[in-house]
Structure 1
Amino acid sequence: MSHPYVTPLGVAIALALAGPAFAQDVAETAAEATNLDTVIVTGTRATDRTVLESTSPIDVLTAEDIRKAGVLNGELGSALQALLPSFNFPRQSNSGGADHIRAAQLRGLSPNQILVLVNGKRRHTSALVNTDSKIGKGTTPVDFNAIPVSAIKRIEVLRDGAGAQYGSDAVAGVINVILNDAPEGGSYEASFGAHHTDVEPIGQTVTDGQTSFASAQVGSGIGDGGFFRVGLELKNREGTNRAGFDQIPFFEEQTPDNLALAGKRNYYLGDGESKAINAWLNSAVPVGENAEFYAFGTYHQSDTRGANYFRYPDGVANWKEVYPDGYRPISIGENLDVSGVAGLRGQWGDWDYDASLNYGRNAFTYRLENSLNASLGPSSPTRFKTGDYEFQQTLANFDVSRGFDAGDNHHTFATGLEFRREQYDTGAGDPASYAAGPFTDRPTGSQAGGGLTPQDVAHLSRDVSSVYASLSSEFGEKLTTDIAARYEHYDDFGGELTGKLAARYEFAPAFALRGSVSNNFRAPSLSQIGYEATSTGYDASGQLLQGRLLSVNNPIAQALGARPLEPEKSVNFSLGFTSRIGEHFDVSLDVFRIDIDDRVALTERISGDALTEFVQDEFGVPGVQSVNFFINAADTRTEGAELVANWRQKLGSGDLLLSGTYSYAKTEIKRIAATPAELQALDPDYVLFGIEESNTLTDAAPRTRALLSANWNSDKWSLLGRVSRHGSATRVFNFGGGFEPKQTYGAEWQLDAEVEYRITPKWSVALGGQNLTDEYPDRSIDDIAYFGNLPYDVLSPIGSNGAYYYSRIRYTF
């Protein structure tokens, strides 16, 4: 698979999309960012609710917000982290699949507990299972970066459980991406940026991570009220490296050739190279007088590269005939992500109806280069395909709604049906990627991730059907309510009834209370049910292991105590206060509690001689040094608070918007699954869910984040300043033998700024920077920094790339 770089030719292709259209008033677009009267479509079936009138907390991000925050290679995920304190999007490195598809958190919960919608329709997840990451370990998250930033009209983020309204997965909340539907006009944009930073561990100033981004979009009206809008994005990002000088691990052979590498940078820590193309369309065509046909979709194709641990010259994983100086395997991800929705909506008497078909597919091919299958000897290939992954989701929806009055009260009733089919497939890697060669004293399989074997291959599918009903009511001018119920049936897990009650009461002019209670349901994903993999790699302590990730249906896993997975179930509570004083100031404060039972997670790696001997004696499978599988690991409680405040003011010839937000979320484990008797019989010290995985759920991500931004816009200028505070986080590792180093990384401050000047009503240029003060997380202590090679923690929200500077030119018409 190959993809275009962002070159002058690529920009020319993007510009070719532009065509004659009417002028667009940029100053008016910027002013919309200050308008709280935007009618929301997320979290309620009412057709006239605004942000502050919502019964649940909702953030609305405009296209301008996202465009300015997503300058880092046009990444939607990075933009959301910059704008939403409750959203976490760490840049993991040396983390397997997480180097290629990054996982996000909302309210500190799991990536698969966020429901993502596009134009109100369910988005599919990715196919690659992240097994070597921390945040998102064992999940197949939605790939936010496969959604084009230039396609977005606005994003509505519902920070509340919404399973009764939208179905499973909406435990932490809902992110609804609404596409641009302007019937005329367009734009093209090009930007370039790079990191320029002082890298303390090596005492050097470096410039890297060069990033190019180009986008173009154009719209045209169709008939009476219809439109067709299309866009294209081209992206290219070079890699970054913040690794330190190698001190050579003590457990590696202390030979002259190995020791000669001391003081060199043998590892990589940072972003890998990435090349991507995104395309999108959004359209609607009138059908008769009371209906319209609509269609929208996205297309994403990317090549990404990831980092892995270094293999030393005189080590069992190397043949010096191939790599006389050792080697560092490079992972390669080939990612194809497509989605399309088509439907018919309109009015039938007093009823509004919407019938749609929705298809999404993610196909991911994982490869390795600069690797080796040491058991094959010096003749081993150095490039491997380790596996194919594919997830497909097909949905059919039919929704109807109508408004009606009862006395002085207005109500909106809605009901609908949904049928969903999910399919998950994996394909084996090259035979050489998993072969056990004649050199039995060497590790088998390609280094940095052995290929999926024929016995690992999974083909799973299931059908899900649901029916829901909701009632949104306005009782006079003070009280509004939302009530919803949904019955959802999985052909592999049975049915579940979920419900939600939310209300808002304006007890005094400009002051209101709101609250909600709901129960939510998340069935284990197909990948968590049936995914299996065979790997050769390093554990947390740097020791080389050959391991198996087993499905709960595998006889080996069952002999070790694996049980069929149960769905996750949650109960959400929220209580909030909102106020809007005049046209200048508004504030909201919401507190919440989320109790989740039977959270699904991967076990710790179970390893040791007892395991190896048991698997060989009972199943005739030799050389298995570690095993893990999915379990219903724990019950948790997450409690938190979120504060949002805005001040608007005319200032000089422009408009000033000051915004402050704060988020706090603390997760505690209420129950941990007991280690089964089958496993304890092998070794009483075995645990299924230990300190490392518990740390990931509770303290590995910051509990607090705060943002303060100032945005001033006039006809000619747009000035943006943003200060972020990422709270402290604690990491704990289990290196075996009771060695469990722990470190708390302190809070970090980040300064972003941008100046944009409108040369003409159509042309604008901008200069800006992120992390302008060149802040880094605390250096990892010696016990965690892996012998000087990995000096920064991969989960830090501020990242380890340092300051980033960029320029941008934009033309609107």
Structure 2
Amino acid sequence: MSAHSRTRLALVLTLALPATAAAQAPVAATTLDQVIVTGTRASDRTVLESTSPVDVLTAEDLRRATGPSGELGSALQALLPSFNFPRQSNSGGADHVRAAQLRGLSPDQVLVLVNGRRRHTSAVVSTDSKIGRGTTPVDFNAIPVGAVARIEVLRDGAGAQYGSDAVAGVVNIILAGGAEGGALEAGYGLHHTRLEPIGRRLSDGQTGHAHGQAGIALGDGGFLRLGAGYQQRNATNRAGFDQVPPWDQTPANLAVQGRRNYHLGDGDSRQLDGWFNAELPLPGDAALYGFGTWHQRDTEGANYYRYPEGEANWPQVYPHGYRPVSVGENLDVGLVAGVRGRLGAWDYDASLDHGANEFTYRLRESLNASLGPDSPTRFRVADYRFAQTLANLDFSRGFAGAGADHVLALGAEFRAERYQTGAGDPASYAAGPYRDRPAGAQAGGGLTPQDQANLRREVASAYATVSSSFGEAFSTDLSARYEHYQDFGGQFTGKLAARHAFTPRLALRGTLSSNFRAPSLAQVGFESTSTGYNAAGQLVQGRLLAVANPIARALGARDLDPEQSRNLGLGLAARIGERLDLSLDLFQIEIDDRIALSEAITGDALAAFVAANFDVPALESAQFFVNAADTRTLGAELVANWRDHLAGGRLLLTGAWSYAKTELEHIVATPPQLSALDPSYVLFGVEERNTLTDAAPRTRALLSASWAGHRWNLLARVQRHGSARRVFDFGGGFQPEQRYGAEWQLDAEVEYAPAPGWSLALGGSNLTDAYPDRSNEDIHYFGNLPYDVLSPLGSNGRYLYGRVRYAF
């Protein structure tokens, strides 16, 4: 089926399905009369009354957006056009921890909260990915979908309200509570697709999950709600037939030509989750509360194939060549305990929060060629750990004055962070006796003892917020925060947000804020040594250097400065009649000193300079973090809902659209140290500029139709993923690029309730089996990688699933 035919079929089905029925829709979240807790201290504000744009996603929205995939990040992408959650492959740590974007900005520029408390980030630095390159993102998939009661997404800068990192916005994940009821659910799905590059139909990616939750009463009015789940997913592969690069075309290597030697797609994955949310009333109008999540995930990632005859292989070990498989062991834990109550006219909330992520990186089916034919084939490559501990104390009270009602909130937070990396097995980084062969485990040499990092810092902050209502027509939120980093000093941030209602159904809102993001500890001190293939397919040995490393200093590295942003927003929220509501928001985000990885500095000049001045032989590539550029992002977001009754059920039609364009206002100059080595060296070149500006789609849109009746729930959703652009720099002036066109995706689900509490569902995503544009011959790496990782559509094709659920 042609792309045009698939698009036409998607539109026809979307328009036709609501005539028969469709379910409690995703993005029902955007109902404008829902009370929110994110973005304001007032306790009775709704989405319509909010001074900043907020989306609210219910548990039902999320459950029906994931199918049985169990991925919270994928559900958010399906429901929020401004949220991007691409699938990476052959991308190192990003194969194991996927990064998310909001409003087209970097993954570390969105703050994630759980029940209003700061969530920790992953310990894995995404150094080999495209989207999220150089960041340590929050792992959305470490939070079980079944634990979520709702999610509130504040699409606005909120550093003065919630602290650093909230440049693009805030995602507040609110866990399920209550003493009554529970649910059990199981599902199974798989990809069934036609892969055009090889002319075959495939069925793979088989995924099964089971999870449950229940509530228990504690004391008089308290509760303990807990749940657990398990999921297993098989791999997908969309690689093409190997044409073998010209420089590898020996007789032994040509013997494997025409095979699918590479892997492009998801790896095997197994995960186990547990969570709880509890509250216990105490004497004196107080309550003790606590909540936590526990997540263990084992994943596999893809790497480039090593040919039978080449310096990276010993035919005695792998006579037919080999493709190393990365293995990630990911443990993620979050735990919060606190007490809230009332002292006189003041409400108080005191809490302790500890979160940690531990990631062990392994390789199997690999080789350290420098050790000869007796090299191990399995390696422990590195250990990573990030932990943060927070103490919060918040006070709030309402008062009246100057003809208005106000809520004053005051608070303080202390945060301690620690980032650690541990060396791999000695064999994973050893330089063995075979000096003509690359040292270190193939597909990611182990962290060496000199690469290890052990960094700490403390952050203290204090804030004040006043939320005011001047009658029915005008309201404001005014916030100020002072935040002091042990390693970067102090910073003030502020925010003013206001809303004016021309009528009870039409309001104008606007925001002005300054925001702040300090370099993560990983960006300050992470180092690694690796041996692998560059984008041109050449085997290189390189290092990612901390900015304080003497080699990096000699190449022009400088201490990192924090990122500073200025956010402007202007929006309109309206309810038209009893059926239609909509919101339109325009925004501008200016960010100074954005942090990114430098270009990979390679070549003989680098190797000779490092060998002569630092006695480090065979260093062929070096990178470090830099304050790369000042950027400006302009965007718009539109959300509309239509509600009606149809055929004895409730009909909901939703449309949403987002646009975000990032441009470079200023680019860091190449330091003279680099230019003196080689005039062709560029510190921040076309590849990394592409990462910040147009590697992610500028536009996304969705249309959904749902109908909910007594026994039937029907859902159809069409998504349009905008175009994206990929640029490589292979050296010597060869900088191939390709623009990948917009793609359409059709999802649908039918759910039937045969008896009270029971429901059965059948559904699918990408039902028209759409794929991104195929990469051109300059980019597809000799037929092996026919699809790029840029499009949110992914390259797995059609997915079909079934689900059974019992709620009690």
SS at 1:335 equivalent: strand
Tell me the distance in 2 between the aligned counterparts of 1:753 and 1:790: 29
SS at 1:618 equivalent: helix
- Does structure 2 retain, via aligned residues, the 8 Å contact 1:775–1:802? yes
2:63 aligned residue: 67
- Does structure 2 retain, via aligned residues, the 8 Å contact 1:33–1:64? no
User: What pairs with 1:130-529 in structure 2 (closer than 5 Å)?
Assistant: 130-252=126-248, 254-406=249-401, 408-529=403-524
Q: 2:634 aligned with 1:636, yes or no?
A: no
Q: 2:682 aligned with 1:669, yes or no?
A: no
Tell me the distance in 2 between the aligned counterparts of 1:199 and 1:575: 45
Shift of 1:182: 2.2
Paired letter, 1:124: H
Tell me the distance in 2 between the aligned counterparts of 1:28 and 1:798: 23
User: What pairs with 1:654-693 in structure 2 (closer than 5 Å)?
Assistant: 654-693=649-688
Paired letter, 2:342: Q
Query: Could you report, residue by residue, the CA deviation over 1:446-470 in whole angstroms, capped at 9, with x for unpaired residues?
Result: 0000000000000000000000000
Tell me the distance in 2 between the aligned counterparts of 1:436 and 1:628: 21
User: What pairs with 1:793-808 in structure 2 (closer than 5 Å)?
Assistant: 793-808=788-803
SS at 2:761 equivalent: strand
Paired letter, 1:37: D
- Does structure 2 retain, via aligned residues, the 8 Å contact 1:72–1:78? no
- Does structure 2 retain, via aligned residues, the 8 Å contact 1:328–1:371? yes
Query: Could you report, residue by residue, the CA deviation over 1:144-198 in whole angstroms, capped at 9, with x for unpaired residues?
Result: 0000100000000000000000000000000000000122100000000000000
- Does structure 1 retain, via aligned residues, the 8 Å contact 2:30–2:56? no
Tell me the distance in 2 between the aligned counterparts of 1:781 and 1:212: 35
User: How has the CA–CA distance of structure 1 residues 738 and 31 changed in structure 2, closer, same or farther, with 3 Å as cutoff?
Assistant: closer
Tell me the distance in 2 between the aligned counterparts of 1:198 and 1:656: 34
Task: Say which of 574, 579, 587 aligns to 2:582.
Answer: 587
TM-score using structure 2 length: 0.96
Tell me the distance in 2 between the aligned counterparts of 1:169 and 1:577: 26
Q: Which moved more, 1:481-490 or 1:254-263?
A: 254-263
1:549 aligned residue: 544
Extract structure 1 runs of 4+ deviating beyond 3 A.
27-36
Aligned Cα RMSD in Å? 1.2
Task: Say which of 99, 103, 107 aligns to 1:111.
Answer: 107
- Does structure 1 retain, via aligned residues, the 8 Å contact 2:68–2:188? no
Paired letter, 1:369: R
Shift of 1:732: 0.8
Shift of 1:223: 2.1
SS at 1:312 equivalent: coil
SS at 2:77 equivalent: helix
- Does structure 2 retain, via aligned residues, the 8 Å contact 1:516–1:574? yes
SS at 1:224 equivalent: coil
TM-score using structure 1 length: 0.96
Query: Could you report, residue by residue, the CA deviation over 1:333-382 in whole angstroms, capped at 9, with x for unpaired residues?
Result: 00000000000001111111000000000000000000000000001000
Tell me the distance in 2 between the aligned counterparts of 1:51 and 1:214: 33
- Does structure 1 retain, via aligned residues, the 8 Å contact 2:238–2:796? yes
> Could you say which structure has the greater relative contact order, defined with CA pairs below 8 angstroms and 6 or more residues apart?
2
Q: 2:51 aligned with 1:55, yes or no?
A: yes
Tell me the distance in 2 between the aligned counterparts of 1:34 and 1:775: 28
Tell me the distance in 1 between the aligned counterparts of 2:609 and 2:549: 15
SS at 1:455 equivalent: helix
SS at 2:246 equivalent: coil
Tell me the distance in 2 between the aligned counterparts of 1:205 and 1:810: 31
1:16 aligned residue: none
- Does structure 1 retain, via aligned residues, the 8 Å contact 2:24–2:60? no
Paired letter, 1:500: K
- Does structure 2 retain, via aligned residues, the 8 Å contact 1:31–1:655? no
1:702 aligned residue: 697
Tell me the distance in 2 between the aligned counterparts of 1:678 and 1:382: 40
SS at 1:68 equivalent: helix
Tell me the distance in 1 between the aligned counterparts of 2:356 and 2:307: 40
Shift of 1:386: 0.5
User: How has the CA–CA distance of structure 1 residues 30 and 732 changed in structure 2, closer, same or farther, with 3 Å as cutoff?
Assistant: closer
Shift of 1:34: 8.1
Tell me the distance in 2 between the aligned counterparts of 1:236 and 1:531: 32
SS at 2:229 equivalent: strand
Tell me the distance in 1 between the aligned counterparts of 2:405 and 2:460: 30
Tell me the distance in 1 between the aligned counterparts of 2:29 and 2:217: 25
1:605 aligned residue: 600
Shift of 1:71: 1.9
2:743 aligned residue: 748
Shift of 1:406: 1.9
User: How has the CA–CA distance of structure 1 residues 29 and 325 changed in structure 2, closer, same or farther, with 3 Å as cutoff?
Assistant: closer
Query: Could you report, residue by residue, the CA deviation over 1:685-704 in whole angstroms, capped at 9, with x for unpaired residues?
Result: 10111000000111111000
- Does structure 2 retain, via aligned residues, the 8 Å contact 1:152–1:180? yes
User: How has the CA–CA distance of structure 1 residues 231 and 395 changed in structure 2, closer, same or farther, with 3 Å as cutoff?
Assistant: same
- Does structure 2 retain, via aligned residues, the 8 Å contact 1:30–1:713? no
Shift of 1:255: 1.5
Question: Gapped runs of 5+ residues in structure 1?
Answer: 1-26
User: What pairs with 1:548-567 in structure 2 (closer than 5 Å)?
Assistant: 548-567=543-562
Query: Could you report, residue by residue, the CA deviation over 1:761-794 in whole angstroms, capped at 9, with x for unpaired residues?
Result: 2111000000000000001001100000000011
Tell me the distance in 1 between the aligned counterparts of 2:54 and 2:231: 31
SS at 1:236 equivalent: strand
Query: Could you report, residue by residue, the CA deviation over 1:673-732 in whole angstroms, capped at 9, with x for unpaired residues?
Result: 001011111001101110000001111110000000011111211111000000011111
User: How has the CA–CA distance of structure 1 residues 480 and 704 changed in structure 2, closer, same or farther, with 3 Å as cutoff?
Assistant: same
Task: Say which of 709, 717, 739 aligns to 1:714.
Answer: 709
- Does structure 1 retain, via aligned residues, the 8 Å contact 2:24–2:706? no
Tell me the distance in 1 between the aligned counterparts of 2:149 and 2:192: 32
Tell me the distance in 2 between the aligned counterparts of 1:673 and 1:33: 41
Paired letter, 1:127: A
2:781 aligned residue: 786
Q: 2:72 aligned with 1:76, yes or no?
A: yes
Tell me the distance in 1 between the aligned counterparts of 2:65 and 2:535: 34
2:12 aligned residue: none
SS at 2:93 equivalent: helix
1:574 aligned residue: 569
Tell me the distance in 1 between the aligned counterparts of 2:646 and 2:797: 33
SS at 2:69 equivalent: coil
Paired letter, 2:92: G
SS at 2:300 equivalent: strand
Question: Gapped runs of 5+ residues in structure 2?
Answer: 1-22
Shift of 1:582: 3.1
User: How has the CA–CA distance of structure 1 residues 664 and 32 changed in structure 2, closer, same or farther, with 3 Å as cutoff?
Assistant: closer
Tell me the distance in 1 between the aligned counterparts of 2:185 and 2:154: 30
2:97 aligned residue: 101
- Does structure 1 retain, via aligned residues, the 8 Å contact 2:27–2:61? no
Q: 2:614 aligned with 1:619, yes or no?
A: yes
Tell me the distance in 2 between the aligned counterparts of 1:147 and 1:324: 43
Tell me the distance in 2 between the aligned counterparts of 1:29 and 1:643: 17
Tell me the distance in 1 between the aligned counterparts of 2:666 and 2:32: 42
- Does structure 2 retain, via aligned residues, the 8 Å contact 1:238–1:272? yes
